[in-house]
Homo-oligomer: A and B are copies of this chain.
Amino acid sequence: MLPVALDCMGGDNAPREIVAGAVAAFREHDVPLVLVGPARRIRGLLAEHGMAGQIPIVHTDESLDMDEGALASWRKPRSTVAIACELIKHGKAGALVSAGSTAGVVATSAVRLKTAVGIMRPAIAVTLPTRPRPTVLLDAGATADAKPEMLVQFAMLGTAFAQIRLDVPHPRVGLLTIGAEAGKGNKLSKKAQELLSAAPIEFAGNVEGHDLLRGRVDVIVTDGFTGNIALKTMEGTIRVAVNELRAALTGSRTAKIGAALQRKELQALTARFDSETYGGGVLLGLNGAVVIAHGAAGARGIAAACKLGYDLSVGGLTERVKDQLHAATKPSRFSRRHPADPVGGPPAGG
């Protein structure tokens, strides 16, 4: 099986924690890896783990800064991320893992890997810590201006992702909109509803903001603007709620005692809804899976990201999407609802 290309210079704790994570992934999960970054330095770190020479290294001195924006791909043709993408393109790696700046990683990999055949735009999928099962939300910010057809493709990408990530054979897909009834929403979501009902996926209808954490569906689809705002609103709300509670708990003396008894529970809650824990996002829709680990990820987070990247490439993410697109473009299914002249147009304010 193809190894996972790991960007050793991305993230706040690079390269030390990244390499430590690689070692953990290799030892604990048998993930085949290729490390991309400054060879000598990486070799040294591997040696510290007694792993010198046991994981292949592809050398490059260039790397993306954490504040790197969309121009990264052009400004740094030999960045660790760019090189990792080349490895995938040339069939030397099956997935890319980086804890680098999301904007930089998205821009670079989109330019280098290109979108898969039939996919218009990539989408970032995040796995929300819902109960009893997690929920996949996409797009979390890769495509801010989406067309209805793109949301349908996001639904397919999310379905393929959930099949592998959540091990659900037929993931139920919900459309994030306002008002649960069909026909509610803005122009984009109304058109998307129509197309989604005709798509070869398990469309479960509309979900609203308060359903985000209810685990009612396996996949929640939306445009990158709405998805990013919903996600950050969720994170920010949890943070505020926990802080407020902490404050309240130091209010009365009895409460103080209670607080002491429960610091653990509060921490657990914060942790569970912290993107660092539920672990960054995955850029879907390109020729190769791109796992964007949290910038602050430590060895544990990196190891998990490598495992996920490996699972996605072994699970044949790209092939699954291809199959769905194929099913979707069968005249019998699609042409009815999919006039030659592109549908949708301005989803909002047009």
Contacts and interface: CB of A to CB of B under 8 A. Distances in A.
Contact of A241 (B148, B232, B241): B241
A116 B334 CA distance: 45
A269 B241 contact: yes
A213 B225 contact: no
Nearest to A211: B236
Interface stretch (A32-40, A154-162, A340-348): A340-348
Interface string A237-256: 11111101100110100110
**Is chain A's binding surface mostly helix, strand, loop or mixed?**
helix
A224 to B, nearest CB: 7
A59 interface: no
A209 interface: yes
For this chain, the copies found in one complex come to 2
Interface stretch (A74-82, A183-191, A286-294, A324-332): A183-191
A261 B257 contact: yes
Contacts of A178: 141, 144, 224-225, 228-229, 232
A194 to B, nearest CB: 15
A258 interface: yes
A60 interface: no
Given A177-B229, A258-B262, 16 more contacts: A144-B348, A150-B349, A178-B232, A185-B225, A209-B228, A230-B233, A233-B233, A237-B238, A241-B273, A245-B245, A245-B265, A254-B261, A257-B258, A257-B261, A258-B259, A347-B350
Nearest to A187: B145
A212 B241 contact: no
Contacts of A347: 145, 346, 348-350
A90 interface: no
A55 interface: no
Scoring A224, A233, A261, A262 by chain B CB atoms within 10 A of each residue's CB, the highest score goes to: A233
24 contacts: A144-B187, A145-B348, A178-B224, A209-B228, A209-B229, A209-B230, A209-B231, A213-B237, A214-B236, A225-B348, A226-B229, A230-B230, A234-B237, A237-B237, A241-B273, A244-B272, A251-B265, A258-B258, A258-B262, A345-B349, A346-B348, A346-B349, A347-B350, A350-B350
Contacts of A148: 349
Nearest to A236: B210
- For the complex of A and B, the 5 pairs showing the least CB-CB separation, nearest first, are A346-B346, A209-B232, A210-B236, A258-B261, A258-B258
Contacts of A214: 236, 240
